[in-house]
Amino acid sequence: MTTDPNGPAWQPTGLLEKALVQATTWHAKQYRKGGAEPYIGHLLGVASLVIEHGGDEKQACAALLHDSIEDCGVSTEELENLFGPDIAAMVVACTDTEPDLPAPQDAETKAKNWGDRKADYHAKIQAKATLGATSPERRAILVGVCDKINNCEKSVNDSRGQDPDDVWKVFNAGGTCQEWNYRALLAAYREAAPITDGMPGLARALDRLERAINELFPAGRVPICTVQHSHGTDTGGNR
| Non-local CB neighbours of 215 within 8 Å, separated by 6+ positions | 156
Q: Which of 41, 27, 40, 31 is nearest to 70 (CA)?
A: 27
Number of separate helices (H) and strands (E) present in the chain? 12, 0
Is 70 assigned a catalytic role?
yes
CA dist 100 and 28 (Å) reads 21
CA dist 227 and 115 (Å) reads 10
3-state SS, residue 219: coil
Selected catalytic residue, list 17, 52, 57, 70:
70
DSSP 38: B
Is 116 assigned a catalytic role?
no
Residue 32, sorted as left (phi over 0), alpha (psi -120 to 50) or beta, turns out to be: beta
* 136-159 vs 40-52: helix crossing angle, rounded to 10: 120
**193, 128 Cβ separation under 8 angstroms:** yes
Selected catalytic residue, list 52, 71, 78, 197:
71
Catalytic residue positions, numbered: 70-71
